Structure formats: C-alpha cells, structure tokens
Structure 1
Amino acid sequence: MVTVTVLPHHEICPEGATVELNEGDNLLEGLHEHGVKIEHACDMSKACTTCHVVIRQGFDSLEEMDDIEADLLDRAWGLEPNSRLSCQCIVADENLTIHIPKYTLNHAKENH
C-alpha cells in the first residue's frame, strides 16, 4: 500500500486527507474513491487541466509525463516544476504528498 497525503484545500478537503492506494492505481480515481473530489472536466481524456496537482513528495516515483500532458500543464493555474495531471499519474511504490492548487481554469464546477 502507498500512502497519499493530500494537503488541505479550502473546498475539496479543508482538513486535508490521507488515503491508502495500491501500486498501479490511478491517482485521480483513487482519490475520488476516498472522497477527495478533484475536478476532472474532460473525464480523464487528457484534454484539460482541471485535475492539476503539485506533487510535493514522491514526484520521482511517477512515470515521466508525455508531451501532451506537458503542453496542457503550461496552461494550468499555479504551475510548478512538480506539477502533474492527477488523471495521468499511476501510483508507484513511494508515498506521495500532493497539493491541490486553489484555482483551476474551469469556469464552472462539473460536480463529479
């Protein structure tokens, strides 16, 4: 099991969260299954940046992003060197700490 620590976010999880995921799990899906409802306006098709997260710990354990993800992240609010689209992250064998940026470029909530 891999421990994923979600730092507090004013709307999504004000108290923060700690969840246990299996190696090979998709980060976004795993967080949703544990009640951390990160937005994902494109249904995980790698067409938006609403599921943008910053990996504060464990970034190097994730597979490298492809060119499409890198291009999309250029448009994300609050981009940092350790930014990723959570829908494209497959949990590896290292614990993760993630920060969900305060804003997205989405003008309306999708209620996923």
Structure 2
Amino acid sequence: MPKITVVPHPELAPTGAVLDVPENTSICDALLLHHIDIEHACGQVGACSTCHVVVREGYASLSPFGDYEEDMLDQAWGLQPQSRLSCQARVGGEDLTVEIPKYSINHAKEKS
C-alpha cells in the first residue's frame, strides 16, 4: 500500500504526517480521512483550486490530468510544475510526498 508523506503545514498538519493509502484514492480523500482538513470548496469536482497541493515526490505515478484540472490550477496560489488538484490526483503504486501550500484562493469565502 502506498504512503503519502505530508510536509508539515502550520495549521493543517503542524508535525506532518505519514498516511497509508490504497491505490486509486484521491489525495484529497486520503488527507480528509486522516483528519487533515484541506479546503475543497467545490465538493471535489475539480471546479476550484482550494485543494491545490505540490507533489514533491512520486508525481509521475499519479493519475493523468482530467479535462479541466490544468485550467483550474492556473487559479491556484503558489502554482509550481508539480502542482495538482488533490481532488483529481489519484494515488498510483508509488509513495508520495505532498506539500499543502500555505494559502489557497477560495472565491466562495473571499469578500469582493
């Protein structure tokens, strides 16, 4: 069973975490199941960028990009070449190291 190592995040995972995750689980579901409350404003349908993560190791083993994921990623804060929407990226057979960005852009919560 693959493992997801979560880099420490000041609010969501202050000491980091190591999660055992079945293959084909979305990164978002894995985080939520292990009580790491990553934002997911659109209900995990890939229609926002609040669940953006940076995959530091194991990126190539993830499921391919969906139809709109790359477009939504363009709206994410701190976008990097190894960025994915955690609701769309499914775990393959390799271990992952994931960093949750310090900020996310949640248009539903932002005031205009």
Fold conserved between structures, TM > 0.5: yes
Q: Kindly state the Cα deviation for residue 67 of structure 1 after the two structures are TM-superposed.
A: 3.9
CA distance in 2: counterparts of 1:20 and 1:49, whole angstroms:
25
TM-score of the aligned structures, taking structure 2 as reference length: 0.92
Query: CA RMSD, aligned part only?
Result: 1.4
CA distance in 2: counterparts of 1:40 and 1:59, whole angstroms:
21
Given that 2:7 and 2:100 are in contact with CA atoms closer than 8 Å, whether structure 1 keeps it comes out as yes
Q: Kindly state the Cα deviation for residue 25 of structure 1 after the two structures are TM-superposed.
A: 1.3
CA distance in 2: counterparts of 1:94 and 1:16, whole angstroms:
19
Given that 2:73 and 2:84 are in contact with CA atoms closer than 8 Å, whether structure 1 keeps it comes out as yes
**Runs of 4+ that moved beyond 3 A:** none
Query: SS of the counterpart of 1:84?
Result: strand
Please tell me whether residue 20 in structure 1 is matched to residue 20 in structure 2.
Answer: yes
Q: Kindly state the Cα deviation for residue 78 of structure 1 after the two structures are TM-superposed.
A: 0.2
Q: Kindly state the Cα deviation for residue 20 of structure 1 after the two structures are TM-superposed.
A: 0.3
Name 2:93's counterpart in structure 1: 93
Name 1:37's counterpart in structure 2: 37
Name 2:11's counterpart in structure 1: 11
TM-score of the aligned structures, taking structure 1 as reference length: 0.92
Task: Flag structure 1 segments of 5+ consecutive residues without an equivalent.
Answer: none
Higher share in helix: 1
Number of residue pairs the alignment of both structures matches? 109
Given that 2:64 and 2:89 are in contact with CA atoms closer than 8 Å, whether structure 1 keeps it comes out as no
Given that 2:53 and 2:86 are in contact with CA atoms closer than 8 Å, whether structure 1 keeps it comes out as yes
CA distance in 1: counterparts of 2:78 and 2:88, whole angstroms:
18
CA distance in 2: counterparts of 1:67 and 1:75, whole angstroms:
15
Query: SS of the counterpart of 1:87?
Result: coil
Query: SS of the counterpart of 2:42?
Result: coil
CA distance in 1: counterparts of 2:16 and 2:46, whole angstroms:
26
